[in-house]
Chain A
Amino acid sequence: MSKVALITGVTGQDGAYLTELLLKKGYIVHGIKRRASLFNTARIDHLYSDPHEEGVRFFLHHGDLTDTSNINRLIQQTQPDEVYNLAAQSHVAVSFEEPEYTANTDALGALRILEAIRLLGLSKKTKFYQASTSELFGLVQEVPQKETTPFYPRSPYAVAKLYAYWITVNYREAYGIYACNGILFNHESPIRGENFVTRKITRALARIKLGLQRNLYLGNLDSRRDWGHAKDYVEMQWLMLQQDQPDDFVIATGVQYSVRDFVTLAAKELGITIRWHGSGIEEKGYDDESGKCIVAVDPRYYRPSEVETLLGDPAKAKKTLGWQPKTSFSELVKEMVLEDLKIAKRDNLMRQNGYDTPEQFE
């Protein structure tokens, strides 16, 4: 019998990688996507086939974490062995504009799933994975951050995610549900959302390289993050649900770089050497060859109550799960740059042949 997995947030970066992983492992995968006026399945289209064909193991359902009855019905219908709760309003800056929606989705969404598991009598059958986040550590109370580090969330996003974290712990302890938190540090990939800083950088630099764009505007260049590859991290999410006992784990590389480091390295992959001048909001990055300013700071992108530094200690995951990230920072940056360069080249080709390519800015 194939195992059945239900993935919320299936159209997102992690959802796509996880679906691919689980399908490879022989799972039947049910994904929940929100209805949108534009197609929002670009990341999983290559995995999806016509449900009328034979042997299809990947199914999509419309749903929304803010809708209790919808969640209940989908869990009842699919009777999953494993639920991966990856859906979230995941943008920190947006969470200041939409704190209530963020809480309804990110906080109560997790609870709605756990309640459904409990009320449908699936507490012994269904395992639950909650996508927790390094943003819980916010104003970090110790370096590096591990499972026992006190949380200090600094955004409505992080506060909502912290609620989901505790609810997950609570349902594990109070009802014996196999429920785990993966406290994932930043994880990126070529299919990272375009408004996350890493993807914004690789996309912009590739376009600058081809002359499709002049400048890249960023927020705090000194922000330091622990960046891993999403493909490695979803393997972790799966591993957490295959243990004897449910537990919470920090998933990180244990290595930290600044946003500036990321820019420098990404540019280097494109053959651009960046010279940095000035500091704070006056800091600028110049293309060493042309002398042109290509990177500048726009305080607009400074986050309200900035989380300055995050660095994870993945020792527990290494020891207990035998997990080790496979992709190094430079490999990650390289992969992202090359993929965005391909897209930029396609845009360039279209433009040269008289077709419009939309400019997309944040």
Chain B
Amino acid sequence: MNALITGITGQDGLYLAELLSNKGYNIVGVVSNLNQALKRTDLALKNNKVHLLQCDMNKMECIADLLGHFSINEVYNLAAYSSGVGMYDDPIAIGEVNGLTVVRILEAIRITDLSIKMCQASSSEIFGETTDTPQTEETKFNPRSPYGAAKLYAHNMVRIFRQRYGIFACSAILYNHESPRRRPGFVSKKIIHEVVRIKLGLSSKLRLGNLDSFRDWGFAGDYVNAMWLMLQNTDPDDYIIATGEMHSVREFCDYAFSYFDLDYRDYVSIERDLYRPAETTHLVGNARKAREVLRWSPKVEFPELIKMMIDKEIETLNQQEKLKGS
């Protein structure tokens, strides 16, 4: 089987590349900068089953060419401006990448080979300011950011191409998912990073926005598995991928600081300027459909996720200190 992964150097891309290469897939990974990507040391990308290349995703014909040339069977579209910090920074580029690129991929499938399957990384941000808690696949969409609006555009186009052309195209409505590979710019990573620095005496304060913002945090490795399962099912459909557990940023801090027997209240300062321009509320997903239809369930729970992230952060910082020392 041949899979195309966009955004392969991102957190999800790396987990998915690992998963698929373990399953014997040949993987084509689209990256925005090949030289940078080749310098990376991630094992997932060193695997000889992964072929990295650059492709202009602004051109439908480049995507179509890629699909045909590598006889792609499954497309995983993970490339996107991500949520979190920056969700408001360059809305037009976000619309281009998170929205229009998806219709270009769908069009490329339509002209190349209708049997190519596609999984779109959709997002809980399409629910935005919802009043339904928890959200299901039936919940009314209410996006509240340029990011959410673009993801909803993509989500709807996936459905329309599925209904109109019978393409096996699915949207995975992913709730927040973290891992030791989480990049800076996300509140989870920021907390973990600062906690470890505080513990090591490198920092004394953690500046955060709204502590009572609630999120449904899962483990990225579990979530890419759900995306794969979606494409192996008999029928294409959209699924909520979530833990169903809601935790506040405050709780996240509490768990993380407690790991070192610290009290978060001694270190966290609340900064109004870190609030989002329009705050979404209480995003927690009900993944019942994925559990029942795909037999999927998250393996890593909240405390373990935080522990994984802290352990990795300590390791990274230690390595950096060693490098400085030598």
A108 within 8 A of B: yes
Q: Which residues of B contact A68 (CB under 8 A)?
A: 92
- By the criterion CB–CB under 8 Å, are A170 and B153 in contact? no
Nearest chain-A residue to B140 (Cβ)? A150
**Closest-CB distance, B237 to chain A (whole angstroms):** 16
Question: Which of B141-149, B192-200, B254-262, B318-326 lies at the interface?
Answer: B141-149
**Closest-CB distance, A167 to chain B (whole angstroms):** 5
Q: Which residues of A contact B146 (CB under 8 A)?
A: 111, 167, 170
Known: A166-B143, A170-B144. Contact between A111 and B91, CB under 8 A? yes
| Selected contact of B148 from candidates A96, A156, A166, CB within 8 Å | A166
Nearest chain-B residue to A160 (Cβ)? B153
- By the criterion CB–CB under 8 Å, are B160 and A170 in contact? no
Nearest chain-A residue to B60 (Cβ)? A100
- By the criterion CB–CB under 8 Å, are A108 and B92 in contact? yes
**Closest-CB distance, B167 to chain A (whole angstroms):** 13
A42 within 8 A of B: no
Q: Which of B86-105 contact A (CB under 8 A)?
A: 88, 91-92, 95-96, 99-100, 103-104
A174 within 8 A of B: yes
- By the criterion CB–CB under 8 Å, are A103 and B92 in contact? no
Q: Which residues of B contact A108 (CB under 8 A)?
A: 92, 95-96, 99-100
**Closest-CB distance, B107 to chain A (whole angstroms):** 7
**Closest-CB distance, B60 to chain A (whole angstroms):** 7
How does the 8 Å CB contact mask read for B121-154 relative to A, with 1 for contact and 0 for none?
Answer: 0000000000000000000110111101110110
A283 within 8 A of B: no
Known: A103-B103, A174-B277. Contact between A163 and B92, CB under 8 A? no
A254 within 8 A of B: no
Q: Is the interface of B mostly helix, strand, loop or mixed?
A: helix
How does the 8 Å CB contact mask read for A298-342 relative to B, with 1 for contact and 0 for none?
Answer: 000000110000000000000000000000000000000000000
- By the criterion CB–CB under 8 Å, are B164 and A304 in contact? yes
Q: Which residues of B contact A154 (CB under 8 A)?
A: 160, 163
**Closest-CB distance, B116 to chain A (whole angstroms):** 17
B269 within 8 A of A: no
What separation, in Å, do the CA atoms of A107 and B156 have in the docked complex? 13
**Closest-CB distance, B197 to chain A (whole angstroms):** 32
A-B contact count (CB 8 A): 84
- By the criterion CB–CB under 8 Å, are A111 and B95 in contact? yes
Q: Which residues of A contact B202 (CB under 8 A)?
A: none
What separation, in Å, do the CA atoms of A104 and B99 have in the docked complex? 10
A227 within 8 A of B: no
B43 within 8 A of A: no
Q: Is the interface of A mostly helix, strand, loop or mixed?
A: helix
Q: Which of A93-124 contact B (CB under 8 A)?
A: 96, 99-100, 103-104, 107-108, 111-112, 115
| Selected contact of B153 from candidates A107, A112, A151, A174, CB within 8 Å | A107
- By the criterion CB–CB under 8 Å, are A99 and B141 in contact? no
- By the criterion CB–CB under 8 Å, are A159 and B60 in contact? no
B157 within 8 A of A: yes
| Selected contact of A159 from candidates B140, B144, B153, CB within 8 Å | B153
A173 within 8 A of B: yes
The interface size of chain B toward A, counting residues with CB under 8 Å, comes to 30
What separation, in Å, do the CA atoms of A324 and B141 have in the docked complex? 30
| Selected contact of A175 from candidates B103, B107, B140, B277, CB within 8 Å | B277
Q: Which residues of B contact A174 (CB under 8 A)?
A: 88, 144-145, 277-278
Nearest chain-B residue to A150 (Cβ)? B140
What separation, in Å, do the CA atoms of A175 and B145 have in the docked complex? 11
- By the criterion CB–CB under 8 Å, are B149 and A170 in contact? yes
A155 within 8 A of B: yes
- By the criterion CB–CB under 8 Å, are A163 and B152 in contact? yes
**Closest-CB distance, A273 to chain B (whole angstroms):** 39
A162 within 8 A of B: yes
**Closest-CB distance, A145 to chain B (whole angstroms):** 13
| Selected contact of B91 from candidates A115, A162, A169, CB within 8 Å | A115
- By the criterion CB–CB under 8 Å, are B148 and A107 in contact? no
What separation, in Å, do the CA atoms of A112 and B100 have in the docked complex? 14
- By the criterion CB–CB under 8 Å, are A163 and B149 in contact? yes
**Closest-CB distance, A221 to chain B (whole angstroms):** 22
Q: Which residues of B contact A115 (CB under 8 A)?
A: 91-92
A153 within 8 A of B: yes
**Closest-CB distance, A101 to chain B (whole angstroms):** 10
- By the criterion CB–CB under 8 Å, are B160 and A103 in contact? no
- By the criterion CB–CB under 8 Å, are B156 and A159 in contact? yes
Q: Which of B137-194 contact A (CB under 8 A)?
A: 140-141, 143-146, 148-150, 152-153, 156-157, 160, 163-164
**Closest-CB distance, B58 to chain A (whole angstroms):** 10
| Selected contact of B99 from candidates A107, A155, A175, CB within 8 Å | A107
- By the criterion CB–CB under 8 Å, are A96 and B164 in contact? yes
What separation, in Å, do the CA atoms of A163 and B277 have in the docked complex? 19
| Selected contact of B160 from candidates A107, A111, A305, CB within 8 Å | A305
Report, nearest first, the 9 A-B pairs whose CB atoms are least far apart: A174-B277, A166-B149, A159-B156, A163-B153, A150-B140, A174-B278, A173-B278, A108-B95, A99-B103
14 A–B contacts from the bound complex (CB under 8 Å): A99-B107, A108-B100, A111-B92, A115-B92, A159-B156, A163-B149, A163-B150, A167-B146, A170-B144, A170-B278, A174-B144, A174-B277, A305-B160, A305-B163
Interface on A for B, CB 8 Å cutoff?
Answer: 68, 96, 99-100, 103-104, 107-108, 111-112, 115, 150-151, 153-156, 159-160, 162-163, 166-167, 169-170, 173-175, 304-305
